[in-house]
């Protein structure tokens, strides 16, 4: 997204959602931590999917 020709400013919401998820995970990709944050992981995935459906020109 950051390398998109439209620039990273085209995806501010998505980058914010991903950043907040990374902060919550704190670099720990263990199964226990992912399970603990399962709801947030799924919510971010779903929000990104909905955003992308509204921006079909951005599908790659």
Averaged pLDDT of the chain:
85
What pLDDT is recorded for position 37?
A: 97
Enter the pTM of the model. Answer: 0.74
Say if residue 6's pLDDT is above 80.
no
User: For the CA atoms of the chain, what is the radius of gyration?
Assistant: 13
Q: Of 54, 22, 15, 28, nearest to 41 (Cα)?
A: 22
pLDDT tier, 17 (very low <50, low <70, confident <90, very high otherwise): very high
């Amino acid at each position: 997204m950051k390398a998109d020709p439209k620039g990273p400013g085209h995806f501010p919401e998505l980058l914010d959602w991903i950043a907040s998820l990374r902060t919550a995970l704190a670099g720990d990709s263990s199964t226990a931590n992912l399970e603990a944050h399962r709801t947030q992981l799924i919510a971010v995935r779903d929000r990104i999917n909905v955003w992308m459906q509204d921006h079909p020109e951005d599908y790659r």
